[in-house]
Amino acid sequence: MFAQRLRCVKCGRSFPLGTLFTCEECEGCLNVDYDYEKFASTVNKENIGKGRHLIERYQWFLPIEEPKKAVSLDEGNTPLIKCKWLESFLGLKKLYVKDEKRNSTSLGY
């Protein structure tokens, strides 16, 4: 695991990895700090993005100590859909939207 700690984007306070989602001091969002040197020496294009489940494919980026024990609901792998009409209307060269309604964890609204 390359995750080292959680850090508040608002006040900069650090927290140990765990179940916090917001800073206990200022309620700012928490980002994960990584050991990028260790990451660069371990992860490469041959071993990244492999695996059936989202957690397996992106385990390098997640603050999970034992990825094999993580539970997946088959989330992810939703398609990008090209929006030709909206591209033209907005004057964009390329526009895609992510269809999250197909996500297994979606509530279906």
- Rounded CA-CA distance 95/37 in Å is 35
Q: What is the pLDDT of residues 39-58, one digit of tens each?
A: 888 887 777 766 666 677 77
Give the Cβ contact number of residue 13 at 10 Å: 14
**pTM summary value:** 0.55
At residue 107 the predicted structure's pLDDT band, cuts being 50, 70 and 90, is low
Q: What is the pLDDT of residues 66-86, one digit of tens each?
A: 767 777 777 777 889 999 999
CB 79 within 8 A of CB 99: yes
Q: What one-character-per-residue DSSP string does 49-98 give?
A: S-SSSHHHHTGGGS--S-GGG----S---PPEEE-HHHHHHHT-S--EEE
- The residue among 24 and 53 whose pLDDT is bigger is 24
Q: Which residue has the tokens 């993005």?
A: 49
